[in-house]
Structure 1
Amino acid sequence: MAPFVPKRLEPVAFGLFLTFFMTFIITGISTVLVASVDAPGFAALWFRAWMSSWAVAFPAVLVVAPFVRRILRVIVRPA
């Protein structure tokens, strides 16, 4: 597959994929802890939790990331 995302959109694409995978993993673990894997409707319960979490996490990362970058510029020592 040839690259198709413009360089200027790389931070948005990064946030999209990061939140996609992180919310998938975290909601999966949380759902297993609340309702066992063999519970009826487990997949639907997990999917609902994942989509609602992702809907919050993606915009949150886009808003918070610039602040985190500024903090890191202050606390990380140059190589």
Structure 2
Amino acid sequence: MTYPSSSLGRRKLPARFHAIVFPFILSIFMCGTVSAVSTAKGIGLTPDFVARWCSAWVISWLIAFPVLLLILPMVRRIVGWLVHAPSR
């Protein structure tokens, strides 16, 4: 079986991996952003900011990724109750 290629010529994962890849990438960006803001607010932009931020990011990501895997089905249902499905 061959997999489709992206515009960069790399092979793409099969669609069945969407449920894992989406929360994986979302959790990386969200935890990085939130932990950077929280760390900057807590200690300021000190010389050890990056080290402290990375430590906070890893801890928050280890919690956020499994939580996202658990709550995304519930969030999709809630959004379905609140938002009309797009017309096709």
Q: State the identity %.
A: 33
The residue aligned with 1:64 is: 71
Query: 1:47 pairs with 50, 54, 58, which one?
Result: 54
Structure 2 residue identity aligned to 1:20: I
Looking at structure 2, the residues matched to 12 and 44 of structure 1 have their Cα atoms a distance apart, in angstroms, of: 28
TM-score when normalising by structure 1: 0.88
Structure 2 residue identity aligned to 1:53: S
Higher RCO structure (Cα 8 Å, ≥6 apart): 1
Higher Rg of the two aligned structures: 2
Tell me, which stretches of 5 or more residues in structure 1 are unaligned? none
Deviations 1:37-78 (A, max 9, x none): 1x2422111000000000001110010000011112222123
TM-score when normalising by structure 2: 0.80
Structure 1 residue identity aligned to 2:41: L
Shift >4 Å, 4+ stretches: none
Structure 1 or 2: larger helix share?
1
Looking at structure 1, the residues matched to 11 and 67 of structure 2 have their Cα atoms a distance apart, in angstroms, of: 26
Deviations 1:3-24 (A, max 9, x none): 3322101121010111101111
Structure 1 residue identity aligned to 2:83: V
